Amino acid sequence: MTTNLARRRFLGTSAAAAGSLVVGIHIPFARDAAAQGAKTQGAATPEINAWVVVQADDTVVIRIARSEMGQGSLTGLAQLVAEELECDWAKVKTEYPTPGENLARNRVWGNFSTGGSRGIRESQEYVRKGGATARLMLVQAAADEWKVPAGECVAANSVITHSPTGRTTTYGKVAAVAATLKAPTDVPLKDAKDWKLVGKRLARLDTADKVTGAQMYGSDLKLPGMLNAAIKDCPVFGGKVKSVETAAVLKRPGVKKVVRVGVSAVAVVADTWWRAKTALDALPIEWDYGPNAAVSSATFAAELKAGLDAKEAVVGNSVGDARAAIAAAPRKVEAVYSYPHQNHATMETMNATARYTPERCEVWTPTQNGEAALAAAAEASGLPLAKCEVYKQLLGGGFGRRGAVHDWVRQVVAIAKEMPGTPIKLIWSREEDMLHGRFHPVTQCKLTAGLDAEGNVAGFHMRISGQSILASVAPQNIKDGKDPVVFQGLNPPGPETSIGYTFPALLIDHAMRNPHVPPGFWRGVNLNQNTIYLECFIDEIAHATGQDPLAFRRKLMANHPKHLAVLNAAAERAGWGKPAPAGVYRGLAQTMGFGSYVAGCAEVSVSDQGALKIHRIVAATDPGYAVNPQQIEAQVEGSFVYGLSAALYGECTVKDGRIEQQNFDTYRVLRMHEMPAVETVIVASGGFWGGVGEPTIAVAAPAVLNAIFAATGKRIRDLPLKNQDLKKA
């Protein structure tokens, strides 16, 4: 059960209140490590350090800075702390520090951002040190009490034992004293071979309340005196409100106020959300649709198509002279692919609750980045950060929508500002959520391979044309016109997201084309379409040259042993090269992203009528260290649900400047009857920390598309599959 730290009484919350305890943990971004020593004092339960609170009854409260949204990293991070703390796992609870606390304490908890599959891989070292430091302090407190050297004491399962005498005490008994000790600075971490909790198939810490209805999400929040708001933003991006006939709904029962939110949105505030929503539906709003009213998917598809052959493009990866090698090659293979806009479609729509007074602005919201939500609240309220606070609520899905842009937080604060002192809960309708997403970027890709007489690739060119997320979300990160995120999975060798093939000459470049539809980080981000483009085209070359797709890949992957190892693991488990069941065909894909190596082998059949059935997918993943294998399996299965939903149905089309799909009837997603069996092979090769929540999504579609080709001879280059006729050619 995770609670907000600020919900409890929390003493000594500012750096100014710092006592003698200084925790020498290196925290990225901390401006002043010495100021990290803020600590609790007095009668309340003392924290040993920022990460660990030990209560007198031996309950251990582990602080979790990253958001939990289903991906399980709350449990994984607690495992990492508890591993080093040597505490009793049965007595572990978790707690979120608030973004305001983090700010006041010089970001002692580091980065709150929970995206890019970074939750564990980017914080594992400092949270483990937090656990280890607390353990050393608890042991020191016991040794001091016994007047023996700490080196003679060992800790396990929240019990400290003085080895020579066999005397014991518990963490709870020495916690108060331990909290007053100076934190050690040189804190060794355990060797992986000595882990007792990390690597185990432990049950999640947050399941019980999710099966009884007791778990609270942001949209379930109820504060005393709270009112509810529903909102409509101009359906055309870039449009404005022209006029609102407020009087038409003000006399409806329960309706309190109609609020203009910025230039483009209108909200109705009522006693209940249902009354607010129905009043909003009845409210006459006239829109000025603005400059994008005539834009459609077809118009920007044409702009992207032009980008495929544009002279100007930004290079992401280059080896030798690919254009010359292709021009000189006796044979050429070329193909153009495309990938549509998609909505995250979290099960819980965007929502937040805000209470504003001229002195303070508080926001309760499901967010993947509490600090970004805090910044949004400060900006929207006009108050300094120190006068704002965000209380993170559990997310009913995140998938990237609730991380970078907190548009709904700005809205609720703007509404609350109109009614000072009254808490306002804003919930988006599903229709609002579908129309105002931060959409998966739209791109096209032209791939060209020059082949020598033996069918080997002599030159390889991949031109991506289309949307940049950073140009919209974080333009300050565009350097020399280059959005580096565009090249996920296609980069030169490196620890984050590199291409798994070696070509004698290679060019991967991007012609940026930005339609007006706002893009966002969508689970898997650009790895999704990049892997489709690359892995399907590799399959095309293999078939064009009469080579087995696995054997062909292996030839190109000799310099990429980790990529190759997961591909081999997936192919072997799936039985590649051995007969599949009658009518079943296989397809392969591999990639690297978010620090991990992944591969998949899909088994599909296609009926004479063109009906696709995905029977089984074998997935291999190498995240370096596997913190909780049963949760990795859950993430791999979830990745296929997300990736196959996208492949089969995912498409937001634009007509008259607005998104056409407004609910799950027109924006279909994968359901139970379409879900294949998933077999996960975890190849934890050690020595690095990779992410788990996203990379596998990228192999879902290309593995299936390559299997469809094997089954039908049809090469699908445009998604989603619902638009394609799969009947055998």
Partner 1 sequence: MASLNVNGKVREFQADPDTPLLWVLREQLGLTGTKYGCGVAQCGACTVHIDGAAVRSCTMPVRAVANKRITTIEGLSADGSHPVQKAWVALDVPQCGYCQSGMIMAAAALLKAAPQPSDTQINESITNICRCGTYNRVRAAIKVAAQGGNAKSAGLAIQHIGESTS
Instruction: Provide, rounded to whole angstroms, the least separation between the CB of residue 68 and partner 1.
Output: 8
- Stretch of 210-218, 233-241, 334-342, 553-561 lying at the interface with partner 1 (CB under 8 A): 210-218
Select 155 or 395, whichever has its Cβ closest to partner 1: 395
Q: Give CA–CA dist 484/67, Å, rounded.
A: 25
Q: How far is CA 91 from CA 53, 168, 546, in A?
A: 12, 18, 60
Establish if 157 lies at the interface with partner 1 (CB under 8 A).
no
Establish if 660 lies at the interface with partner 1 (CB under 8 A).
no
Question: Which amino acid does the sequence have at 654?
Answer: V
- Sheet-wide strand order for 677-682: 585-593, 596-606, 612-622, 677-682
Establish if 203 lies at the interface with partner 1 (CB under 8 A).
yes
Establish if 640 lies at the interface with partner 1 (CB under 8 A).
yes
Q: Could you tell me if 102 and 18 are in contact, meaning their C-beta atoms sit under 8 angstroms apart?
A: no
- Of these, 3, 168, 185, 207, which contacts partner 1 (CB under 8 A)? 207
- Of these, 26, 201, 479, 722, which contacts partner 1 (CB under 8 A)? 201
Nearest to 279 by CA among 241, 249, 248, 245: 249
Select 229 or 380, whichever has its Cβ closest to partner 1: 229
- Of these, 249, 376, 413, 641, which contacts partner 1 (CB under 8 A)? 641
Select 215 or 357, whichever has its Cβ closest to partner 1: 215
What is the distance of C-alpha 106 from the center of its chain? 25
Select 465 or 639, whichever has its Cβ closest to partner 1: 639
Establish if 217 lies at the interface with partner 1 (CB under 8 A).
yes
Contacts of 326 (CB under 8 A, 6+ apart): 332, 448, 449, 450, 458, 459, 460, 461, 505
What is the distance of C-alpha 315 from the center of its chain? 26
Select 89 or 289, whichever has its Cβ closest to partner 1: 89
Instruction: Provide, rounded to whole angstroms, the least separation between the CB of residue 325 and partner 1.
Output: 42
- Six-digit token pair at 355? 């209470």
Q: Give CA–CA dist 328/323, Å, rounded.
A: 9
Q: Could you tell me if 121 and 689 are in contact, meaning their C-beta atoms sit under 8 angstroms apart?
A: yes
Establish if 345 lies at the interface with partner 1 (CB under 8 A).
yes
- Of these, 634, 653, 660, 688, which contacts partner 1 (CB under 8 A)? 634
Select 396 or 624, whichever has its Cβ closest to partner 1: 396
Select 3 or 185, whichever has its Cβ closest to partner 1: 3
Return the number of other C-beta atoms located less than 10 Å from residue 347's C-beta: 11
Establish if 224 lies at the interface with partner 1 (CB under 8 A).
no
Residue 624: Cβ-neighbour burial (10 angstroms; 0-12, 13-18, 19+): buried
Establish if 44 lies at the interface with partner 1 (CB under 8 A).
no
Select 115 or 307, whichever has its Cβ closest to partner 1: 115
* DSSP state, residue 83: H
Q: How far is CA 40 from CA 43, 49, 52, 102, in A?
A: 9, 9, 12, 15
Establish if 188 lies at the interface with partner 1 (CB under 8 A).
no
Establish if 59 lies at the interface with partner 1 (CB under 8 A).
no
Instruction: Provide, rounded to whole angstroms, the least separation between the CB of residue 286 and partner 1.
Output: 25
Establish if 430 lies at the interface with partner 1 (CB under 8 A).
yes
Contacts of 332 (CB under 8 A, 6+ apart): 326, 448, 449, 450, 451
Instruction: Provide, rounded to whole angstroms, the least separation between the CB of residue 720 and partner 1.
Output: 16
- Six-digit token pair at 3? 């609670």
Establish if 3 lies at the interface with partner 1 (CB under 8 A).
no
- Stretch of 166-174, 196-204, 312-320, 438-446 lying at the interface with partner 1 (CB under 8 A): 196-204
- Of these, 220, 418, 496, 718, which contacts partner 1 (CB under 8 A)? 220
Q: Give CA–CA dist 657/235, Å, rounded.
A: 8
Select 203 or 328, whichever has its Cβ closest to partner 1: 203
Q: Give CA–CA dist 551/531, Å, rounded.
A: 19
Select 328 or 677, whichever has its Cβ closest to partner 1: 677
- Stretch of 405-413, 541-549, 579-587, 633-641 lying at the interface with partner 1 (CB under 8 A): 633-641
Q: Could you tell me if 482 and 471 are in contact, meaning their C-beta atoms sit under 8 angstroms apart?
A: no
- Six-digit token pair at 300? 């920007």
Number of residues forming the site for partner 1 (CB under 8 A): 67
Establish if 192 lies at the interface with partner 1 (CB under 8 A).
no
Instruction: Provide, rounded to whole angstroms, the least separation between the CB of residue 211 and partner 1.
Output: 4
Select 150 or 352, whichever has its Cβ closest to partner 1: 352
- Of these, 123, 349, 369, 468, which contacts partner 1 (CB under 8 A)? 349
353-412 residues in contact with partner 1 (CB under 8 A) are 394-399
- Stretch of 55-63, 171-179, 341-349, 595-603 lying at the interface with partner 1 (CB under 8 A): 341-349
Select 215 or 653, whichever has its Cβ closest to partner 1: 215
Nearest to 439 by CA among 530, 517, 529: 517
Contacts of 310 (CB under 8 A, 6+ apart): 465, 511
Select 75 or 706, whichever has its Cβ closest to partner 1: 75
Nearest to 706 by CA among 715, 695, 698: 715
Establish if 219 lies at the interface with partner 1 (CB under 8 A).
yes
Q: Could you tell me if 712 and 613 are in contact, meaning their C-beta atoms sit under 8 angstroms apart?
A: no
- Of these, 16, 579, 673, 687, which contacts partner 1 (CB under 8 A)? 673
What is the distance of C-alpha 447 from the center of its chain? 29
- Of these, 46, 72, 593, 600, which contacts partner 1 (CB under 8 A)? 72
Q: Is there a cis peptide before residue 720, judged by omega within 30 degrees of 0?
A: yes
Instruction: Provide, rounded to whole angstroms, the least separation between the CB of residue 311 and partner 1.
Output: 41
Select 69 or 499, whichever has its Cβ closest to partner 1: 69
Select 49 or 346, whichever has its Cβ closest to partner 1: 346
Q: Give CA–CA dist 35/46, Å, rounded.
A: 17
Q: Taking CB under 8 A as the rule, which mask of x and - marks residues 251-270 in contact with partner 1?
A: --x-----------------
Nearest to 390 by CA among 365, 359, 408: 365
Establish if 86 lies at the interface with partner 1 (CB under 8 A).
no
Establish if 202 lies at the interface with partner 1 (CB under 8 A).
yes
Nearest to 142 by CA among 184, 171, 165: 171
Handedness of CA 96, 99, 104, 105 (dihedral sign): positive
- Of these, 18, 285, 385, 669, which contacts partner 1 (CB under 8 A)? 669
- Of these, 429, 444, 456, 467, which contacts partner 1 (CB under 8 A)? 429
Select 93 or 190, whichever has its Cβ closest to partner 1: 93
Establish if 69 lies at the interface with partner 1 (CB under 8 A).
yes
Question: Which amino acid does the sequence have at 723?
Answer: N
SS3 state of residue 669: coil
Q: Give CA–CA dist 459/182, Å, rounded.
A: 61
- Six-digit token pair at 358? 């001229």
Establish if 637 lies at the interface with partner 1 (CB under 8 A).
yes
Q: Could you tell me if 412 and 219 are in contact, meaning their C-beta atoms sit under 8 angstroms apart?
A: no
- Of these, 211, 247, 582, 729, which contacts partner 1 (CB under 8 A)? 211
Residue 194: Cβ-neighbour burial (10 angstroms; 0-12, 13-18, 19+): exposed
Select 303 or 679, whichever has its Cβ closest to partner 1: 679
Q: How far is CA 214 from CA 207, 223, 677, in A?
A: 11, 17, 31
Select 290 or 629, whichever has its Cβ closest to partner 1: 629
CA dihedral 560, 565, 566, 568 (to 10 degrees): 120
C-alpha R_g of the chain: 27
Binding residues for partner 1, rule: CB under 8 A, are 69-72, 89-90, 200-204, 206-208, 210-217, 219-220, 222, 228, 253, 272-275, 345-349, 394-399, 427, 429-430, 630-631, 633-634, 637-642, 645, 663-665, 669-673, 675, 677-678
